[in-house]
């Protein structure tokens, strides 16, 4: 994992932030929408990596918390006409509670059993969203989210989204690089030894799950606002698979890797869709290449390339 916030990392973050803040200057609605969605998926993938990269478990049901955050936000803003801040706080809180409950059960298990249980819970969430038509709109989707007037326009919403995501990523960074993050790494590397040195491994894994779920909920609530709707497919298992692939593509052993993976996969999908309908074929090939040749994803590749260059010099 990356060490403490070094100067180059800080500088790179600042540059990215400034570039993102400058996107609306280009006056293209398309680019504003595009970058807004990329940022949301980047946060989604970063949140998943707390479970995968840091605690060393694979979740096949991360979309559940994205959907819970999104549906809560959509329903509170629209059906109950809550103001933005309480609705946002409630959706974060609800994602926290929901992932806490699920984590209680999932962290009793490890490996494939853990993965299967996360999948089972996410299908439960999907089932609720699908069947509870009066509340969620069922498979018609929850269409027409009332976004508060002051961020209803494209550019103000983009900046709102940018600020929320920047803060969320910063908080995630701090969490992952705190003593808690290091303890998680110890659990990932050797749970038995970590247990013997006095780390409550199950509690650590519980917290990792809850942090991941909560931040996925934040990404989901922004998604509901940017699309002005929430759909059951956001809770369905392929969505969990997509974010998993984003994380793997970017590199799960790097903090920022999943964000790069999310951006790359999202852009690739958009561009592929313009020229061909065979996106699944492209996706399958990407997955194959990662698994066979890039186990540490794009971030790992970048590191290897840098090492090579340094050696040549």
**Site residues (CB under 8 A) for other proteins?**
12, 15-16, 19-20, 23, 26, 28-34, 37-38, 133, 138-141, 143-144, 227-229, 231, 233-234, 256, 259-260, 263-264, 267, 270-271, 273-274, 277-280, 298
- The phi and psi torsions of 6 (rounded to 5 degrees) equal -80, 165
CB of 76 to other proteins, least distance (A): 18
With b meaning 16 or more CB within 10 Å and e meaning fewer, what string describes 215-236?
bbbbbbbbbbbbbebbbbebbb
Q: Inter-axis angle of helices 7-22 and 154-176, to 10 degrees?
A: 170
Taking the least distance from each CB to other proteins, the nearer of 70 and 181 is 70
Shorter beta-carbon distance to other proteins: residue 217 or 229: 229
Phi-psi domain of 145 (left: phi exceeds 0; alpha: psi -120 through 50; beta: other)? beta
Provide, rounded to whole angstroms, the least separation between the CB of residue 250 and other proteins.
Answer: 9
Strands (DSSP E) contained in 29-144 are 142-143
Q: Pick the closer one to other proteins by CB: 213 or 220.
A: 220
- Determine contact, residues 54/176, Cβ cutoff 8 Å: yes
CB of 30 to other proteins, least distance (A): 4
Instruction: Select 4 or 27, whichever has its Cβ closest to other proteins.
Output: 27
Task: For other proteins, give the closer residue by CB, 8 or 198.
Answer: 8
Give the shortest CB-153-to-other proteins separation in angstroms: 10
Helix (H) or strand (E) holding 239: helix 237-250
The CB-of-206 to other proteins minimum distance in angstroms stands at 30
Between CA 94 and CA 177 the distance in angstroms is 25
CB of 44 within 8 A of CB of 262?
yes
Q: What is the nearest approach in angstroms of other proteins to the Cβ of residue 130? A: 8
State which residue, 44 or 209, has the beta carbon closest to other proteins: 44
d(CA 50, CA 235) in angstroms, rounded, equals 19
């Amino acid at each position: 994992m990356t060490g403490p916030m070094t100067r180059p990392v800080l500088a790179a973050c600042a540059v990215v932030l400034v570039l993102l803040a400058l996107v609306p200057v280009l006056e293209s609605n398309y680019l504003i929408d595009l970058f807004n969605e990329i940022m949301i998926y980047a946060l989604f993938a970063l949140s998943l990596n707390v479970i995968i990269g840091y605690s060393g478990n694979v979740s096949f049901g991360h979309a559940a918390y994205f959907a819970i955050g999104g549906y809560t936000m959509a329903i509170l803003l629209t059906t109950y006409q809550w103001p933005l801040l309480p609705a946002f706080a409630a959706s974060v809180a609800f994602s926290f509670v929901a992932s806490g409950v699920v984590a209680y059960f999932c962290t009793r298990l490890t490996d494939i059993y853990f993965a299967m249980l996360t999948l089972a819970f996410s299908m439960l969430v999907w089932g609720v969203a699908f069947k509870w038509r009066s509340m969620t709109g069922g498979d018609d989707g929850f269409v027409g989210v009332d976004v508060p007037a002051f961020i209803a326009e494209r550019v103000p919403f983009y900046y709102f989204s940018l600020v929320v995501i920047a803060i969320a990523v910063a908080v995630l960074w701090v969490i992952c690089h705190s003593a808690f993050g290091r303890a998680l790494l110890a659990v990932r590397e050797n749970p038995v030894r970590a247990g013997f040195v006095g780390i409550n491994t199950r509690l650590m894994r519980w917290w990792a799950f809850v942090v991941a779920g909560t931040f996925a909920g934040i990404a989901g609530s922004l998604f509901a606002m940017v699309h002005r709707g929430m759909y059951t497919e956001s809770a369905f298992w392929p969505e969990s698979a997509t974010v998993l692939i984003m994380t793997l593509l970017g590199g799960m052993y790097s903090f920022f890797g999943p964000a790069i993976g999310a951006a790359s996969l999202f852009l690739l999908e958009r561009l592929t869709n313009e020229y061909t309908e065979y996106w699944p074929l492209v996706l399958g090939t990407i997955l194959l290449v990662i698994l066979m040749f890039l186990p540490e994803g794009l971030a790992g590749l970048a590191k290897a390339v840098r090492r090579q260059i340094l050696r040549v010099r």
